Amino acid sequence: MALQTTGESAYSVWLSARLRQARQRLRRSNRAELPWTLRKGLLVGRSRSRRIGRGVFCIGRGNHAPTLSHPPLGREPNQNSKFKACPRVRKAAPQEQGGDSKLKTHHCPPPSPSPLSPPGRLRLHPITPPLPHSPLRLPQMSSPPASTDAPRLQAIRGAFLDFIEDPFYAPEAESVRYVPDGLLVIESGIIKAFGPYNDLESTYGHIPVTAYLGRLITPGFIDTHIHYPQTGMMAAYGEQLLQWLSQYTFPTEKRFQDKAYAKEVAEFFLDQLLSHGTTTALVFATVFPQSVEAFFEAAEARHLCMIAGKVMMDRHAPNLSSAIRPRPSYTDTKALIQTWHKRGRLRYAVTPRFAATSSEAQLQRARQLLQEFPDVYLHTHLSENQEEVAWIAELFPQSKGYLDVYDQAGLVTDRFCLSHGVQLSEAEFQRLSQAQSAIAFCPTSNLFLGSGLFKLEQAKSPSHPVKLGLGTDVGAGTSFSMLQTTNEAYKVAQLRRQSLSPFQALFLATLGGARALSLDGHLGSFDQGKDADFIVLDPQATPLLAFRNTAAVPRSLEALADQVFSLVILGDDRAVQATYVLGQLVHERY
Ligand SMILES: O=c1[nH]c(=O)c2nc[nH]c2[nH]1
């Protein structure tokens, strides 16, 4: 395997200076010595450091943390709707910081000799054949990748974990693909080859490689439900769904009339996603078309695969009604679809907020859009809490139930992606299974708003399986981290006397999410031909994780499950060492 050496380049001079500064800073703060050192222009881990072990790791350029003028939470009282005003006063949250996503990939030498051995009892799965042409591929992108000096062919070496089957239905030994010493070969952002290092070395020995030892490389996380405009109103105190919407959400979203503000939040939001290891998401914007434009522009500049849409509301949204009345949602939505749907890696979702805020006429318009553009998504909320379900029954007395409202409008298809579904009946699960619709299970949100416990076993019932992903549902959700989301999903299952295994949890956050969003032809695993969106997890990222996990690469399914479970429960953005989009390093944690 050839190494890319940088010699005494300007870059290594820059690195030396940076290292010197870091050492000085640490000396000043009386902290321990840095665990890495500079050798031949490359930063390498010191062998005596337990955290780094023998691993070689790469370091990117400065991780600037832009500050955001934080949106104060809205507290406008609700006058004349179901939504009730809350008298409580809440202080604005402190400023949050995010990382610069435009970092450059650097190539480090692989260790010599390889400390990794063949995978013991684990089954190694054959590499899957190339997929048919992917509409998400780089050549269709409207602008070049962020780092244009990246080599056309590059490789990542380390321990890889992904899924080839759904571990809810297939035995874990057959659904988990684990390659303890693997090589991922990437050409122009697309996975060209993947498999054990020893098998691929002879063919790809000449290309530059970045090695991550003692780490776990997985596909990027896929968040199947999140609201970017609600970033600044996370942790809004004290309400349940309908009051929370009125008290905090609508006033907050009103600020997105201002495109410059929307852009600022969109940039921060996307940096948060990447630093938490999320590379794709299904995203609510607001009723204002400019909020959708701001989001898509920011996502396009980062070459991300994102799905989003303008919220459709024409009633029961008191703080917004004057803004939404003059411009019918249909016209705006149609124009946005024509501009953004399938532009590069972007996709559009027709987004009626929920049945309470859309008249039957507006739901019909949503259907019309689906007929005109059959491959757009339909993204909405469904059956979150009991008060909401009772209100929908009042608003739509002719319907058999909440899902039936959408069904009668012709919206329940294989593009129908609903969030929550906490209150769904068995018959509704069956209908969703039949229609091949998808549910986003949003545990941190459901717990935060006190909505209830999602019936995981009914969604994943073998007799009527429903496509299922995980959603952070920021800002009712309490974390951008899909690892924190798996943590809470596990606890929700426990409270219902159900189980969620470590591999099932990770599946939901990766390939399960890709399947829910019908993106599994392009994302969610390391199959040849898929887009190279992946993350590097550090099982020893925090003192607690380092105490809990050994530095050894797992060599049995049990040892791997244990390591994955520690990340599923204890992990968060600190466990995400690096995030790659189309093979480019876009976030790295220091
Ligand atoms: O969690 C939620 N967040 C929202 O913004 C929303 N709107 C309707 N229903 C909702 N649920």
pLDDT per residue over 136-146, tens digit each? 222 223 333 44
| In-domain check, residue 317 | yes
Shared domain for 502 and 539, answered yes or no, is no
Q: Is 68 among the domain residues?
A: no
What is the pLDDT, as a whole number, of residue 172? 95
Banded pLDDT at 319 (limits 50, 70, 90): low
* CATH number of 118's domain: 2.30.40.10
Rounded to 10 degrees, the C-alpha dihedral 486/490/491/495 comes to 150
pLDDT above 80 for 500 = yes
Q: Are residues 203 and 172 in the same domain?
A: yes
399 inside domain: yes
Of 457, 481, 516, which residue is a domain's last?
516
Q: How far is the CA of 464 from the centre of ligand 1 (A)?
A: 26
Q: Which of 485, 516, 547 is the last residue of a domain?
A: 516
pLDDT interval class at 590 (50, 70, 90): confident
Domain total of the chain: 2
The reply to whether 77 falls in a domain is: no
CA-to-CA dists, residue 328 to 312, 358, 428, angstroms: 9, 12, 31
C-alpha 211 to ligand 1 mean position (Å) = 42
Q: Are strands 467-470 and 305-309 parallel, antiparallel or unpaired?
A: unpaired
Of 446, 555, 462, 548, give the one whose Cα is nearest residue 495.
446
Same domain, 365 and 401: yes
Q: How far apart are CA 389 and CA 395, in angstroms?
A: 10
Whether residues 432 and 554 fall in one domain: no
Confirm if 162 and 177 have CB atoms less than 8 A apart: yes
What are 192-223's pLDDT values in tens digits? 999 999 999 999 989 999 999 999 999 999 99
Phi-psi sector, 515: left (phi>0), alpha (psi -120 to 50), beta: alpha
Question: Which of residues 486, 516, 546 is at a domain's end?
Answer: 516
Q: Do 228 and 145 belong together in one domain?
A: no
Same domain for 500 and 548?
no
Q: Is the residue at 447 inside a domain? A: yes
Domain shared by 198 and 230, yes or no: no
Nearest residue (CA) to ligand 1, atom 10 = 381
Q: Phi then psi for 586, rounded to 5 degrees?
A: -115, -15
Q: Which of 230, 245, 447, when mutated, tests ligand 1's pocket best, judged by the most ligand atoms within 8 Å of its CB?
A: 245
Residues 355 and 466 in one domain: yes
- The atom number, within ligand 1, closest to the CA of 384 reads 11
19 within some domain = yes
- Determine the distance separating the centroid of ligand 1 and the alpha carbon of 381, expressed in angstroms: 6
How far, in Å, from the CA of 245 to the mean position of ligand 1?
A: 7
**Strand 42-45 versus strand 36-39 pairing type:** antiparallel
The whole domain housing 50 covers 10-61+101-213+534-588
| pLDDT attached to residue 334 | 97
Ligand 1 atom nearest 477 alpha carbon: 1
pLDDT tens figures, 261-273: 999 999 999 999 9
Residue with the nearest Cα to atom 2 of ligand 1? 476
Asked whether residue 525 is domain-assigned, the answer is no
More confident position, 242 or 84? 242
Same domain, 577 and 446: no
If asked whether residues 316 and 337 sit together in one domain, one would say yes
Contact between 209 and 1 under an 8 Å Cβ cutoff? The reply is yes
Q: Does residue 586 have a pLDDT over 60?
A: yes
Q: Which two tokens stand for residue 498?
A: 């159900």
Task: Find the 243 Cα to ligand 1 centroid distance in Å.
Answer: 11
337 belongs to a structural domain:
yes
* CA of residue 248 to ligand 1 center, whole Å: 11
- pLDDT confidence tier of residue 133, bands split at 50, 70 and 90: very low
Q: Are residues 237 and 204 in the same domain?
A: no
User: What DSSP character marks residue 249?
Assistant: I
Find the range with the poorest average confidence among 55-64, 249-258, 380-389, 541-550: 55-64
Residue with CA closest to ligand 1 atom 4: 245
Mean pLDDT calculated for residue range 55-75: 32
Give the atom of ligand 1 at the shortest distance from the alpha carbon of 241: 11
Q: Cβ < 6 Å from ligand 1: which residues? A: 227, 241, 245, 249, 353-354, 381, 384, 445, 473, 476
Whether residue 257 is predicted with pLDDT greater than 90 in this model: the reply is: yes
pLDDT tens-digit profile of 365-415? 999 999 999 999 999 999 999 999 999 999 999 999 999 999 999 999 999
Q: Ligand 1, closest atom to CA 451?
A: 1
Percent of the chain with pLDDT over 70: 73
CATH code, domain carrying 494: 3.20.20.140
Q: Stretch 168-172: mean pLDDT, rounded? A: 97
**Domain co-membership, 192 together with 232:** no
Residue bearing the CA closest to ligand 1, atom 1: 476
d(CA 179, CA 158): 8
Q: Return the residue whose CA atom lies nearest to atom 7 of ligand 1.
A: 353
CA 118 / ligand 1 centre spacing (Å):
48
